[in-house]
Structure 1
Amino acid sequence: MIKSISILGLVLSAAACSHRQAGEPLDESLLGAATHNNAAVMSGERDYAIQLAGRFAKEVPTTINFAFDDARLDGEARSVLDRQAAWIKQFPEVRFRVYGHTDSVGSSSYNKQLGLRRARAAVNHLVSRGISRSRLEAMVSHPESQPLILTQERERRNRRTVTEVSGFFKRHPTVLDGKYAQIVYRDYIASAVPATTLTSEQSLNSSLE
């Protein structure tokens, strides 16, 4: 009886796999997140993403702030996002997440929607500066989870969005070739000047000659 059950199990297993072609990649949904995480570690992808995230946080401001109960961008916020966009443009293989935060005033459900509106406002501004929406993701973080200042009162520093590196754009040729180091160590030219400025300077020099 036991032998018959074992044979039946082997037959059922073979039948379940019979629709797969020889050499066909395994369905990652069957393997779970652990396999994906292990592959990222083994390839160095995760370490490189962490290094690039550190560079981003060091070289440009990652945070903007908001008025109370408001998701509109003021002049200072737009200026910071413009700097972020200039950095992001020089790393087209990289994806980003924008996390929206609120202070602790108001209900959790209302603040969740407000935080998401703030994240979307920041994403929309980055898109308006030429960043592909497919590289950006608006996220929300509950005010209780990551406040900068522990208070139940109004606090501008808690009303913010934070832009972070989330990983690599999988379909980009450089990433497909596994050239993560080349991406991470690419120079970011913070002092680059717009072409219009160069044109004006060249015109001025020409007029002086």
Structure 2
Amino acid sequence: MKIMNVPHLNIQSQHAQIGLQQHQPEMSIKQRGADLRIDQELVGTLRISTTASRLYIDQSEAFADADLKGPLRRGKEWGTKGKQSVLEYIAKTARDGERLKKIENGTNVLSELARESGQLKVKEAHFTMVPKDIFRVRFDYVPSDVRISVDWPDPQIEVRRNDPDIRIPKWQSKVYLQQKNWIAFSVEGSTISKQL
């Protein structure tokens, strides 16, 4: 029987490792607010016009109740009363004439006419208020008219926009060899034993 140790080759290796380093700074955006400018003249024109209010009071009917009348009104009333009296007198005369036409019938017309004409009129007394009521005085009111007009200049508005300040720094990547590759060979069992 033969025992033989054959040498064999042992190989050990290590793969290379690459490292990656990255630097990513933040992006920044800044922007100033817009510049706003407003100009306006504060000298305007304000116009206010008014008409005077008017109050009319008509007391003529109240004064008439107290027999305080103007000459035109009194003349008109007397003319109306005179016309009425004339018409009444004409009517009475016509009636009396008709009665006198029938005197031949034996009626005592003359004594009746004398008695009617000689009778005194009965005086009547009345209680009344002066003025008769509150509506005898008339009021007419015209309110004042107010007109307002404003001449105000328009404002001038100017807006200036400011551009944004954008900063984008470079991103950097660094590649490096983190571990080198290597290979090692070794022979084991370098002796051969023979036994016969």
- Shorter-chain TM-score bucket reads under 0.3
Which entry has the higher C-alpha Rg, 1 or 2?
Answer: 2
Q: Which has the higher helix share?
A: 1
